[in-house]
Amino acid sequence: MDVRDSDATQEQHGDDVRTRWLEPGQIVLDRYIVDKQVSSGAHGAVFRGHTRVTLRPVALKVEHRDNSETDHARFAQEALILAKIVDRNVVKVLDAGMLEDGGALLVMELLEGPTLRAMIERRCGWLPWREAVRLNVGVLRGVAAAHRAGVIHRDIKPSNVVVVYEGSEQVAKVIDFGVAKHDSDSGFVALTVAGEVLGTLNYMAPEQLTGDPAQNVSDIYAIGVTLYECLTGALPYSGKGMRAAMAKVCGTPPAPMHPPVGAELWPARLSALVLQALHPDPTQRPPSADALADELEACLGESADVDAARARELVIPKGTSVEFVAMALPAGSLSSAAELEFIVHLLRGTARPFIVGPDAVGALLLRGGTGESASVVDAIVRAFRQRYGEIVVARERLEAGDSQWSERSVSDAAGRLAKRLSVPPPPPAQTSR
């Protein structure tokens, strides 16, 4: 299990009636000594501990006191499920048993590293594309091993992946099989009621949202969402809760994938593979986790096809107008990680950022009428001026008319705005190496 320090102390848990507390120094299952609590989840808490004889560090996962009978059964069966899966990309179960008060206890390998969710948040909301691909290939390999064992995870998401180092190599480990589904003929008790929805809304496949049984490709969909988020810093569907869920169920295409400000352009095939994993029709997704992992690994050796990527990444439909604003920033602003983080977070969900020049950034709005877009642009400019002072600003409205605007057209507009700002235009895009 993963180690994430908790602020809770033993003196503070007096009012916590849910958590089944293990005290430091307590001996459990006659073989393990408790060190401290490190995290808590919906159905259990995790404590750091070690073996009595060899002093090997372990994670002790104990269920909450108020778990339902079904939750208790799922918790107890997680050890049996994990025992069936042997793979470097899946957390290992070492032991299991029952506490004196009847609570289930799992003994897991101790994973000392951040979750993928924590990594994304610490890196301005996204990861370099090669790192994102390598980590998600590891997740796919772990999930493939689970599928071969007859197990569907059903809750793949960045917070259920822990990244550890084995030597100098980053290794992604899939954790939390608490709501996993297993083959009916594998000797496990069936715990899912027909039509029951289990998982995390933003990462669930359309078939899960409609109450249909989860399939292997449902996990592939969740990994597609995870990789999309790692690459772009955003989820495939805007909105929260049921609004995004209904978009999936209705077959609405996900938002186009665009590299964030400061990110290297990735191969066009990578976007195509992610979008294939997000196909609303399960039969149109990659046939297996291993198959998708193989395709993604092949992308690591490819260069970005700049012209093809630009033509496919962004198409503004005919009859649509878009607002484009460019701002000249103080020298060196775009070489600062802190400033890039500010820009990404300011524009996220509102506008697509562009590099307009060495020290100039642009924002392209694709939503809203003329008045609404102008108001949003005014707000963006105010925010930039509050941070950078009296900056030079240039604006342009692109009218698609009877034809479509491709990203090349938008890049041409960026060049025009750069001239109006009196800054060097952006250099020609370079292929990645």
pLDDT tens sequence across 396-427:
887 655 455 555 666 777 788 888 888 665 55
Instruction: Please give the model's pTM, rounded to 2 decimal places.
Output: 0.69
341-356 burial by CB neighbour count: b if 16+ within 10 A, else e?
ebbbebbeebbbbbbb
Strand duo 181-182 + 151-152: pairing: antiparallel
pLDDT of res. 52: 95
pLDDT of res. 239: 63
- Told to judge if 155 belongs to the known catalytic residues of this protein, a careful annotator would answer yes
pLDDT of res. 361: 87
Give ranges for CATH 3.30.200.20 in the chain: 10-109
Give ranges for CATH 3.30.70.270 in the chain: 314-421
Task: Pick out the chain residues at pLDDT < 50.
Answer: 2-15, 185-197, 307-313, 368-370, 402, 429-433
Q: What percent of the chain has pLDDT over 90?
A: 41
Give the CATH superfamily of 116-310: Transferase(Phosphotransferase) domain 1 (1.10.510.10)
What class, spelled out in words, does domain 314-421 have in CATH?
A: alpha beta
Vertex 124: Cα angle to 268 and 372 (nearest 5)? 80
Query: What CATH code is assigned to 10-109?
Result: 3.30.200.20
Catalytic residue among 87, 155, 219, 359: 155
pLDDT of res. 305: 55
pLDDT of res. 260: 76
Q: Which two tokens stand for residue 374?
A: 């102008």
Give ranges for CATH 1.10.510.10 in the chain: 116-310
